[in-house]
Amino acid sequence: MSEDKPRKRRGAGRVTLNTVARQAGVSAITVSRYFNQPEQVSPERRERIAQVVAELGYVPNLVAGGLASARGRIVAMVIPNISGPIFANTIQGFSDTLSRHGYQLLLASSYFSAEQEENAVRAFLGWSPAALVLTSRFHSAATEKMIADADIPIVETWDYVPAREPVQIGFSHFEVGVTAARYLHEQGYRRIAFVQNSATGDFSAVERGEGFAATLSERGMQPWVFTPDADRPPFEAGKQAMEALMNHATPPDAIFFANDNLAAGGLLAAQRAGWKCAVLGFGDYPFAEMLLPSLSTIKPPALEIGVLAATRVLQSLGVLPVEDEVQRLNLLDCRLIERESSRTLP
């Protein structure tokens, strides 16, 4: 019968903050500031501490630090789709800006579900993050109650309704729809359709459709909106929409899609069938310029949203100075990028 080996006590041999301080030749308080308030540590000491931390493989006990101060250095963010290219630059800009000031990002995806967002918000608030960042203003009643009662900075991104209590950083989706309708109408198209997102719960896309429909109505045209099957993959949804619209008795001569994934699926279907139809997307995804024909689209300020949201969070936490009194002037611009697809396909 083999003898039981003595079990290693958890934490035994763990490198401590004091160990790092001794080896770096600084005080323990300085090492603590390096992790919690790096801007208060001189560049020379930061470099020396960083070298020792790397050599020793030191991992700070952030939970203990967070409990001691009743606040962590974590900022929580809920995004509709982590894998979606439209939000990638927002996440990167937000994370990069936070990390430069010693804060880290904790991320969750709602998949456009109000229930999943609610669950994520409840879980995040239970960990006492320094701040909470959400996407858009469309939340469940329970989420609205939680963010109203939270005693931390709350920021809503990818939206702009300044009358709301949380700071909002983004743009008007209704105005995006207005821009799309005006552009296609001024290009000479008269049978213009809008294809809604197949993702259930994307109410921002619904607003883009509302702006589109209102603008065409003002110009004496009948709004034409097509909604693909719920939760169908976007490329397939775009293909489904293109086939349904182009097989209509009076097919459209231009289509505004709720996002570039849908637009790409529609554009490829049109090419395959030899249909002539102008296509406009939303998002300016990385592949948009590479398609043939290249995809005309409306580019949202995704990176700027992330950077500015992090800046507003850090200002609210007192990490960055508030340079003026216009924190609510966070309205950013979308930009229409004209490429080949908004000219009728040859």
Residue 222 CA neighbour count, 13 Å, CB half: 4
Distance CA 191, CA 197 (A): 20
pLDDT at 307: 96
For 70-171+302-316, CATH number? 3.40.50.2300
Helical residues (DSSP H) of 113-259, grouped into ranges: 114-126, 141-149, 173-186, 203-218, 234-246
Distance CA 63, CA 83 (A): 28
Distance CA 83, CA 335 (A): 23
Reduced 3-state DSSP string for 51-101 = HHHHHHCCCCCHHHHHHHHCCCCEEEEEECCCCCHHHHHHHHHHHHHHHCC
Given the candidates 3.40.50.300, 1.10.4030.10, 1.10.287.310, 1.10.260.40, the CATH classification of the domain at 17-60 is 1.10.260.40
Whether 216 and 222 have beta carbons less than 8 Å apart is answered as yes
Whether 308 and 240 have beta carbons less than 8 Å apart is answered as no
Whether 332 and 158 have beta carbons less than 8 Å apart is answered as no
Whether 242 and 277 have beta carbons less than 8 Å apart is answered as yes
Distance CA 323, CA 250 (A): 56
Q: Is 70-171+302-316 in the same CATH topology as 17-60?
A: no
* CA 39 from centre of chain: 27
Q: What is the chain's pLDDT, residue by residue, as a tens digit (346 residues)?
A: 444 444 434 444 567 888 999 999 999 899 888 887 788 899 999 999 989 888 887 777 655 555 445 457 899 999 999 888 899 999 999 999 999 999 999 999 999 999 999 999 999 988 889 999 999 999 999 999 999 999 899 999 999 988 888 999 999 999 999 999 999 999 999 999 999 999 989 999 999 999 999 999 999 998 899 999 998 999 999 999 999 999 999 999 999 999 999 999 999 999 999 999 999 999 999 999 999 999 999 999 999 999 999 999 999 999 988 875 555 578 999 999 999 999 854 4
- The pair of structure tokens assigned to 70 is 């009743």
Neighbouring residues of 22: CB distance < 8 A, sequence distance ≥ 6: none
3-class DSSP state of 110: coil
Domain chopping of the chain, boundaries: 17-60, 70-171+302-316, 173-299
Residue 297's DSSP bridge partners are: 281, 337
Which residue is associated with the tokens 């309704």? Answer: 161
Number of neighbouring beta carbons within 10 Å of residue 321: 8
254 exposed, middle or buried (CB, 10 Å; 0-12, 13-18, 19+)?
A: buried
For 173-299, CATH number? 3.40.50.2300
